[in-house]
Amino acid sequence: MPIHKNSIIPLTIESLSSDGSGVAHYEGKAVFVPATAPGDVLNARIVKDMGRYSFAIVEEMLQPSPAHIEPDCPVCKPCGGCCFRHLNYETEARAKQSFVEDAFRRIGGLDTPVLPILPSPLEERYRNKVQFPVGLDAEGHVIAGFYAGRTHRIVPYADCKLQPSELNQIAAFVCEFMEAHGIAPYQEEKHTGLVRHIFLRKGWHSGEILVCLVVNGRKLPHAQELCAALTEQFPVIRSIVLNVNRQKTNVITGLESISLYGPGYIEDTLCGVPVRLGPLSFYQVNTPAAEQLYGVARQFAQLEPGDTLLDLYCGMGTIGLSMAADCKELIGVEIIPEAVESAKLNAAAMGVENARFFCADAGKAAAKLADEGLRPDVVCLDPPRKGCDEATLNAVIAMGPRRIVMVSCNPATAARDCRYLADRGYRPLRAQPADLFPRTKHCECVIELVREN
């Protein structure tokens, strides 16, 4: 029987897609149903038919799977950030492992062994960073929350379970202060108002907190009064910063930050590497799980005392510096100037003297180093979600390292890049998935590649 919009059909959910939807089949056609679990038996209503596949919603749950649990967040559906909050964690972890296996098999065409996933040490309250958009509700009250999926409509919630409760409390305190003192939230349609986002960071080991208000201007009314009130209520706050973003853009932060209280950053450690975190610093959001992940990267690198390690997309240098004691020389490359300066400071704080960092595009820097005759023994790649460009991969291949360690937050682009490298003499030996983002659809992985011949 052909299906069309509003058709109601019986389904049994078979698996999960990489965006978190349940996958079933009806008369040979794939049907994607959000907020379902493998084993759910249900009647579904078709909301969009694409010909070869369809999208549906649950019309009636006939028999829930044992993996299906009641979400413990009342706004997880409209918010959309926690697409797996209706699953038990074991099912979520297995699904993420299957995402990596599927990417390497289907996208990469590779039979790379995928090791059992490393679950996150914490399933809740693990995030060390949160960015709350700020706005007004229907009654005109100041609110902070998260954008509903594919919209800029703010879903307010007082206690998001992904980050420590004190970060939620600080955001609520700032909203109350803004309302009491007539400080207007930003309205992007009119490009008016002042406060765009409340951006908070917490040092996982240090406990220090950074409060950053992203503003459409360079001043905040009652700034010193806010600083005094915040630090009295939350003594762990070390720095309060204004970040200036006056652009008509979806990018959250601007390039200029103004310190209102404290040094403008917080300090923490990751894998024993001291780090300074400001508003623009890239940092893994799940510190305990990131330490597991970087430990695997160090294991896969198999560095020897005389080796040179090239760390591309090095950020603040955390991965490379965690391995600096294993090699003769560490070279780090990063395009963000603030991150490079942080990497240098981190190396100095550790007393590491065999490391140098410079600011450049990864691909151009790798090509220049290759032309200069650099022959690193091991290359570490930690690209953004879009993966590596061909210029970077070609430059790495030209250097001829014996081993490449890739750390990726996107299994699809990792599989694509590994296919490119495999076709040019670098065999992916194994991939290690790691869950850094419980309850969400995201998954990290580390891949070890070795030069053939």
Measure the CA–CA gap between 91 and 69, rounded to whole angstroms: 11
DSSP 118: B
Q: Is 314 a catalytic residue?
A: no
Burial group, residue 328, by CB count within 10 angstroms (0-12, 13-18, 19+): middle
Question: Tokens standing for 332?
Answer: 């780090």
Task: Say which of 160, 175, 388, 409 is annotated catalytic.
Answer: 409
186 and 168 Cβ atoms separated by less than 8 Å:
no
Candidates 215, 212, 146; CA nearest to 184 is 215
DSSP assignment of 299-336: HHH---TT-EEEEET-TTSHHHHHHGGGSSEEEEEES-
382 known member of a binding site: yes
CA 217 to each of CA 166, 255, 257: distance values in angstroms, whole numbers, following the listed order = 27, 13, 11
β-strand partners of 426: 451
Measure the CA–CA gap between 14 and 30, rounded to whole angstroms: 10
284 known member of a binding site: yes
Question: Tokens standing for 134?
Answer: 């700020």
Amino acid at 75: V
Buried b (16+ CB within 10 A) or exposed e, 112-135: bebeebbbbeeeeebbbbbbbbbb
Measure the CA–CA gap between 11 and 443, rounded to whole angstroms: 27
178 and 185 Cβ atoms separated by less than 8 Å:
yes
Which helix or strand (DSSP H or E) is residue 177 part of? helix 165-180
Measure the CA–CA gap between 60 and 11, rounded to whole angstroms: 10
Measure the CA–CA gap between 238 and 96, rounded to whole angstroms: 36
59 known member of a binding site: no
Measure the CA–CA gap between 12 and 200, rounded to whole angstroms: 42
Measure the CA–CA gap between 261 and 418, rounded to whole angstroms: 46
Candidates 362, 301, 371; CA nearest to 332 is 362
Question: Tokens standing for 361?
Answer: 């595009």
Q: Where are the alpha helices (DSSP H) in 189-283?
A: 223-233
Annotated binding site for S-adenosyl-L-methionine: 284, 313, 334, 382
Annotated binding site: 284, 313, 334, 382
**Catalytic residue positions, numbered:** 409
